[in-house]
Amino acid sequence: MLVRLIYASRVHPDLTPSDIDHILARSHANNARDGVTGALCYTGGVFLQCLEGGRRAVNEVYHRIAGDPRHTDPAILSFSEIVAREFGDWAMGYVAHTADNRALFLKYCPLPQFDPYTMSAASVEALLQELMGVARWRTAR
Ligand SMILES: Cc1cc2nc3c(=O)[nH]c(=O)nc-3n(C[C@H](O)[C@H](O)[C@H](O)COP(=O)(O)O)c2cc1C
């Protein structure tokens, strides 16, 4: 059975670009091994991540991630059984907040700042789907 889990968290203030590279590298290796796909957004001090795969694998990786000191306040925004993956092409697609996609982040937010904690599950899913189309994605090496 396939599930999709989407959560938000707050980036640790000391996080560096090389931390992001390390996270993506581990994600790529582990997720490919475990059949987990998804997307990771990093913007405005907040992570927004979608994890898709088998229920057991998604639970396991989420609990590992939730205990990671590189971020705080993890909050599950959506958890659902799915028929098919939306982010099946990437072991972990990554998108950072750029001037190009700023309007897209705000399109689905009730506040002028991007704040996934205030968004509905439907808005978060729609944002991630749109980002797939317009943002520049990169996969960990
Ligand atoms: C925002 C964020 C997202 C992460 N995403 C993943 C992920 O998708 N897959 C993964 O295996 N680890 C991910 N990690 C890293 C895990 O927290 C953990 O460090 C890693 O899974 C440990 O793997 P290792 O035992 O192979 O080193 C993420 C960490 C953070 C802070």
- Domain ranges in the chain? 2-139
- DSSP annotation of 13: T
Rounded distance from Cα 6 to ligand 1 centre (Å): 15
Return the percentage of the chain with pLDDT > 90, whole number: 60
Domain 2-139 grouped into CATH 3.30.70.100: yes
Kindly state if the Cβ of 48 falls inside 6 Å of ligand 1: no
pLDDT recorded at residue 75: 97
The whole-number average pLDDT for the span 60-71 is 98
The values of phi and psi at residue 139, to 5°, are -105, 145
C-alpha distance from residue 100 to each of 6, 52, 103 (Å): 23, 26, 7
pLDDT tens-digit profile of 14-34?
999 899 999 999 999 999 999
Number of H helices, E strands in the chain: 4, 6
Kindly state if the Cβ of 61 falls inside 6 Å of ligand 1: yes
pLDDT tens-digit profile of 109-119?
888 778 899 99
Q: Which residue has the higher pLDDT, 51 or 131?
A: 51
Testing ligand 1's pocket by substitution, the residue of 51, 64, 77, 94 carrying the most ligand atoms inside 8 A of its CB is 64
Helices (H), the chain: 17-34, 55-66, 102-107, 121-134
